[in-house]
Amino acid sequence: MATVFHGLGAAMGLTASNSFDCKKLLLPSRRSFLERKASLLLVRSDGSGNLNVGSNSRARRAEQLITNAVATKADNSAPSTASKSGHELLLFEALREGLEEEMERDPTVCVMGEDVGHYGGSYKVTKGLATKYGDLRVLDTPIAENSFTGMGIGAAMTGLRPVVEGMNMGFLLLAFNQISNNCGMLHYTSGGQFKIPIVIRGPGGVGRQLGAEHSQRLESYFQSIPGIQMVACSTPYNAKGLMKAAIRSENPVILFEHVLLYNLKERIPDEEYICNLEEAEMVRPGEHVTILTYSRMRYHVMQAAKTLVNKGYDPEVIDIRSLKPFDLYTIGNSVKKTHRVLIVEECMRTGGIGASLTAAITENFHDYLDAAIVCLSSQDVPTPYAGTLEEWTVVQPAQIVTAVEQLCQ
């Protein structure tokens, strides 16, 4: 194994012209099933159309609250890109652009996974990278998640910065031993001799009738592993920024991407930027209730927010983005302002991100709450294949509206 990665490190400068042809070595893949179900609607991540919230409410900015209960920090949130020049990208293209920029900047960055090479990945995040960087920096692997995840961890130990793609997040359960016992713990168990700068990423969440095994939400599985950071992207802007930050991190990072968000379009800056891996995003300031959410549920919340504004409510919406650790600074200041909390997630209710977030808020900000925390989560059932039943298992905007009305009574 060491010989393989010494060779891989030496070959970082290879181009497509002097790399071997791996097309002859490709094995049958699972991509055909995913392709049939991957037709997505094109919507804009700024909430235009039916996701737009009234501009008068959006303009109200609450003063930043800083108390002894939360650590102070500088305001380094990403500026709005609405009025700046830039270029429009779909979310999967933003992920690719961030990955390509890091591969160009750092020759130790490499990619491995099923069909990530000449096929370009199951959702085309790595399209064109094998041609540009060669078959050793963009490594097609057999269908063996435990093997290539472990190989990526070994590569990180030797000084590379691998990005491991799971064709579907549910498949990474096969690599749970490598992620938990190796990826998360080796820095500690080696007494700090090894760093594991690896990114594990891929599509997950409830899609369009992908069935139970392809609709996994693994945030709850991985959140208890010591040494692992977890982030979830929700817009093209933060997808690129989080990808770049995760690759540069010295810690192992799991980047969750939602299968239904790949075709979101947004204008992002031409200039280089990165997002803070441990910082939440204030999506909509408000006064009456704090709504904490992430990933796809951000758009269900914003759709509900339009109805809530029309009913006279002023919800504050926060995309937590960092699933581990939580940004208790941003969350805490919001709780101290609104005194009510609604958590909306697609994760399972039992042992999910919402349960951990509820515990963290209760422990740190209980005295600021005027009502019990409400958490809307997916039902604890395998995701049905039937479309109507699938919708019933996840939180819908109407449920969010009802929950806020009850909270604010």
> Of 341, 339, 330, 404, which is closest to residue 369 (Cα–Cα)?
339
H helices present in 312-376, as ranges: 328-338, 353-365
CA dihedral over 138, 142, 143, 144, signed as positive or negative: negative
Is 122 in contact with 166 (CB distance < 8 Å)? no
Q: Which residues pair with 202 in a beta bridge?
A: 256
Identified catalytic residue from 93, 97, 118, 214: 214
Q: How far is CA 284 from the centre of its chain?
A: 19
Annotated catalytic residue 145: yes
Q: Cα separation of 254 and 199, whole Å?
A: 6
Q: Spell out where 185-311 has E strands.
A: 199-204, 229-232, 253-258, 265-268, 281-284, 289-293
Determine whether 35 is an active site residue: no
The residue written with tokens 């900047």 in the block is 105
Altogether, the residues listed in the chain come to a count of: 409
Provide φ and ψ at 316, rounded to 5°.
-100, 125
Query: Of 132, 154, 136, 113, whose CA–CA distance to 29 is shortest?
Result: 113
SS3 133: helix
The catalytic position among 93, 114, 145, 165 is 145
Active site residues: 145, 214
